[in-house]
Amino acid sequence: MPLDQQAKTLLDQIASVDGPKLHTLSAPDARRVTGSMFQVPADKIEKVFKIENRKIPGPAGSIPIRVYTPEGPGPFPVLVFFHGGGWVICDLDSHDAPCRLLTNKAGCVTVSVEYRLAPEHKFPAGVEDCFAATKWVAENAKELNVDANRLAVGGDSAGGNLSAVISQLARDAGGPKIALQLLIYPATEAELDTQSHKTFTDYFLTRDDILWFWAHYLRGPADRKDPRVAPALAKSFKGLPPALVITAEFDPLRDEGETYGEKLRAAGVPVTISRYEGMIHGFVSMYDALDKGKQAIEESAAALRKAFSR
């Protein structure tokens, strides 16, 4: 399909802004420049019954989290959410809007995790924080008014990568039990050699940006072969949680996300692979401008509801 007209309009608007390219900036400057990119106007923000910022124990100090609780008595199912941003940018605020929607539409508590970012904290710092947060949620279910037997993990891009990795770590550690891994255009490999990487080099997420993210995140070339960096390199995919894999047609990460879904399926894992034609990387976070972003959030919420009802 051709590029979706709404996506084309958005890309044209972005291109019209005269500013430095992401990959030319330092990490702190990139965070400042992109800080408000995905935020939804206040008059359009989803209202949630209760939102609380907290800090929980982590392997290298406290981890900030944001807990979104829907209306009702509970105990609720729970989604542990890891934001995207190439392990370098974004935070709780950048992904506040989709977390609000998922909370209400899936009827779950959402715990958004502000894991440590690179390059100040290279791999495996983010992985360690996300796994610690997932275990903390399961261990403190009563305090959060959630059901630890109905726990999902999810995230977009780097957050999708972390969700896949945490699902593998939880399986190998014997818990926590995960009901669904919600993988929204996840990074699952580190070689950047798929056809979509070669074809879609300048559709919001550029090849230069991707190289910049990986250079900040990894300690060295050997990390590219670590399944905690590239979950597609896991020795086994058996016994992993059911998955919804959402991809975008014009996204360099498209092929590796879909290949990962196929690897899960081949291992007997229930998987839905959902490609959004005409879409670009980041389209779910840009749902305010892209109708298919809204559709993907609806699909994600439906998958969570189904997983939580099992």
Both tokens of residue 54? 């907290």
Enter the tokens of residue 68.
């979104």
Cβ neighbour number for residue 25 with a 10 Å cutoff: 17
DSSP helix, strand, coil percent of the chain (3-state; round to 5): 40, 20, 40
Instruction: Supply the range of the domain harboring residue 187.
Output: 5-309
| Band of residue 139 on the pLDDT scale cut at 50, 70, 90 | very high
pLDDT at 36 over 80: no
Instruction: Please report which confidence band the pLDDT of residue 308 belongs to, taking 50, 70 and 90 as the band edges.
Output: very high
State the average pLDDT over residues 62-73: 98
CATH code of the domain in which 214 resides: 3.40.50.1820
Indicate the pTM of the whole model.
0.98
Average pLDDT over residues 164-184: 98
More confident residue, 90 or 19: 90
pLDDT reported for residue 40: 80
Which phi-psi region, left, alpha or beta, contains residue 157 (left: φ > 0; alpha: ψ -120 to 50)?
left
CB neighbours (10 Å) of residue 240? 23
For the segment 246-301, what is each residue's pLDDT rounded down to a tens digit? 999 999 999 999 999 999 999 999 999 999 999 999 999 999 999 999 999 999 99
Closest alpha carbon to 176 in 142, 149, 144: 149
88 close to 118: Cβ distance less than 8 angstroms:
yes
- Asked whether the beta carbons of 25 and 32 are under 8 A apart, the reply is no
| Residue 37 pLDDT exceeds 80 | no
Overall number of domains in the chain: 1
- Terminal CA-CA length for the chain: 36
Active site residues: 157, 251, 281
pLDDT of residue 34: 87
- Please give the Cα distance from 136 to 159 (Å, whole number): 18
Q: Distance between alpha carbon 58 and the CA centroid of its chain, in Å?
A: 20
Spatial distance between the Cα atoms of 272 and 288, rounded to a whole number of angstroms:
25
Q: What is the pLDDT of residue 19?
A: 84
For residue 198, give both structure tokens: 């070669």
Mean pLDDT of all residues belonging to the chain: 97
Provide the pLDDT for residue 295. 98
Gap between the Cα atoms of 273 and 266, Å rounded: 13
**pLDDT band for position 233 (cuts 50, 70, 90):** very high
Neighbours of 295 (CB within 10 A): 16
Q: Could you tell me which residue, 90 or 43, shows the higher pLDDT?
A: 90
Rounded percentage of the chain residues whose pLDDT exceeds 90: 93
Alpha helices by DSSP H, listed for the chain, are 5-16, 27-34, 96-106, 125-139, 141-144, 158-173, 195-199, 207-217, 254-266, 291-309
Q: What percent of the chain has pLDDT over 70?
A: 100
Judged against a pLDDT cut of 80, whether residue 200 lies above it is answered with yes
Widest distance between CA atoms in the chain? 51
pLDDT of 41 > 90? The answer is: no
The residue whose two tokens read 């209202």 is: 47
Position 262, amino acid? E
